[in-house]
Structure 1
Amino acid sequence: MKVISFTAILLAITTGPALASSTEQWAEFDKQVIASCTKASQLKQAVAVGRTAQFDDRVGYVAVLLQGRYPQAHMKNKVGQELCLFDKKGKTAYVTEWDSVMPAPLQK
């Protein structure tokens, strides 16, 4: 009986409450992701469109859709989109053009 009591006490001491991130911590993390993605973007005046997409921790990435204007003269300031993948472990943003991926609006 003493062994069971000792084990229960030991488990109670070593097992703490699960720590969850607060709303403020998630908001700060989103700001960091968006800042990193807009810095990596090739678009002028790049801004995040919508919210970040948080993938499962096993994947390790956050996705952000960016929109801005192409800086090249031949693009004539055309609006463009890029998809940014932010590597949570490496704290690195990777962007790719996303214009051709966007589907045409559905026909009614």
Structure 2
Amino acid sequence: MSRYSEMSKLELYSEMQKMIGEARKKHQAGFISEANILEQKYYLAKSYMMNPHEINKGGQYHVAGEHGVFHVKYLNGVFAWGRFPHSEEDEAYPIGRLEPVTCGTAKSE
């Protein structure tokens, strides 16, 4: 298997479709942990299809599967590092999990 960083957009898209399909099957079969791992691989592959320059340092984002607003401090490759308001520790998420907070969509803490 190739590294995501070495794959073409078409290969990444194919990999994403495969991962999300397998994750659904695992989830339906009750293998939740395995489904979660496949979902993480999906978001990582999605991250390599994105332009990291579109993620704003200091920006606010929703993170798929998490509650609250994530404040991006910096980027390292395809990972965004930052904090949720209720946390004192930095966390990292693949940029493929981030969705920009738009006016009226910020969820209260």
Q: TM-score by structure 2 length?
A: 0.27
